[in-house]
Amino acid sequence: MSKLVIDSMIQGMDKNLASLKGDLAKVRTGRASTALVEPVNVDYYGSSVPINQVANVTTPDARTIQIAPWEGNIIGAIEKAIMAANIGLTPQNDGKVIRIPLPPMTEERRKELGKLVKKMGEDSKVAIRNHRRDANEAIKKDKAIPEDESKKSMDLIQKKTDEKTAEVDKIVAGKEKEIMTV
């Protein structure tokens, strides 16, 4: 029983880490990333589809995102979708591809983003600690688990929690470094 609880807790923590990584990928760092336009959905023949399903999204250099539609007639719809997504970027359409230049970030904006990244990391740690609390409560409630096994399980839960919070710190530190370097 305690193994199931611990395995479930670890799965929850891993999902939380994956979510954190995904959220951090969307934070602008001053360097072009295709993750900045991933949330954009394009109206394609009456249905809303992600931009990467109707075009190649690439980063030819550190300051530009390039979108090459597979069909030339949807370039206007892609440009309109980027503007409507309100992601703070202005597309430039040359008739064949859309280029999105990323302006350099100010020092003040970098510091704001650093604070945002730290907050996201702290929220992730809180979620990890909630998984720990739930697992500890489940083990305490189960009277079928002997006391010594219960103690070992709680020690393992704490060890795994410490590992996952350290991983969050490492991920956040890497993202902060990426934001602060020009």
- DSSP at 145: S
Q: Tokens for 139?
A: 């083990």
Question: In this structure, what CATH number is given to the domain that contains residue 45?
Answer: 3.30.1360.40
CB 48 within 8 A of CB 42: yes
48-90: per-residue pLDDT in tens? Answer: 899 888 999 999 888 889 999 988 888 988 988 888 887 778 8
pLDDT band at residue 182 under the 50/70/90 scheme: low
Model confidence, pTM? 0.71
Residues 166 and 124 in one domain: yes
Give the pLDDT of residue 24. 86
Question: In this structure, what CATH number is given to the domain that contains residue 22?
Answer: 1.10.132.20
Rounded CA-CA distance 33/24 in Å is: 11
Number of other CB atoms surrounding residue 36 within 10 Å: 23
> Which range marks the domain in which residue 126 is found?
2-26+106-180
Query: What phi, psi does 62 have (nearest 5°)?
Result: -70, -15
